[in-house]
Amino acid sequence: MNDKRLLGTAFPGDTGETSAEVATVMRSYAAGQATHADVLTTLSATRVLVPVVAVLGEVEVDEAGLAHDKTSDMATVLLTGADGRQALLGFTGTAPLQAWQADARPVPVSLRDAAQAAVHDGADALVFDLAGPVPFAIEGDDLHKVAEGWQLATVGPRTAWVKP
């Protein structure tokens, strides 16, 4: 007998809403009352959403010259900035995701998994809530440290990355 089991979600009870903690720190960040480190620390303790969208694959043309969708794939979204750098998109909840693109499907992941996907895809940044209410970017050394599993520690007014 073949015993196959479906794995449950890593985020049981998740409704897709932006958590109260994330919403609070993002509003405080926008108002200049929270730091970049405060947002990183909060996002590290919660789930984030990475959108996947349908991408048309091969197209078949019939004898009458009409195109028919033959295949489609689901893909994550990379945004290319004016400077040519790319960013993987992420969202704090389904409302900001739907404000960006209503038909995108949310995939719940940890911040580390999202950062790893961004680095794997060659992105220079991970940008959250592009369409608002508060856009937030993780880039450079911060992106790589999150992807590698480092944690941000705050001692007094200073922050530093530490390996757990």
Question: Could you tell me the residue ranges of all domains in the chain?
Answer: 20-49+77-162
- CATH number for the domain whose boundaries are 20-49+77-162: 3.40.1350
Contact 76/114 with Cβ under 8 angstroms? no
User: Measured between alpha carbons, how far is 60 from 101 in angstroms, rounded to an integer?
Assistant: 27
When pLDDT is cut at 50, 70 and 90, the band that residue 114 belongs to is: very high
Q: 18: buried, middle or exposed (CB in 10 Å: 19+, 13-18, 0-12)?
A: buried
User: What confidence score (pLDDT) does residue 43 get?
Assistant: 97
- Listed in sequence order, the residues at least 6 apart from 136 whose beta carbon sits closer than 8 Å to its beta carbon are 26, 29, 39, 43, 127, 128, 129
User: What confidence score (pLDDT) does residue 53 get?
Assistant: 85
Strand, coil or helix: 66: coil
Average pLDDT for residues 71-82, to the nearest whole number?
A: 78
User: Measured between alpha carbons, how far is 56 from 74 in angstroms, rounded to an integer?
Assistant: 9
User: Measured between alpha carbons, how far is 161 from 155 in angstroms, rounded to an integer?
Assistant: 11
Contact 114/126 with Cβ under 8 angstroms? yes
User: What confidence score (pLDDT) does residue 54 get?
Assistant: 75
When pLDDT is cut at 50, 70 and 90, the band that residue 64 belongs to is: confident
H or E stretch including 78?
strand 78-80
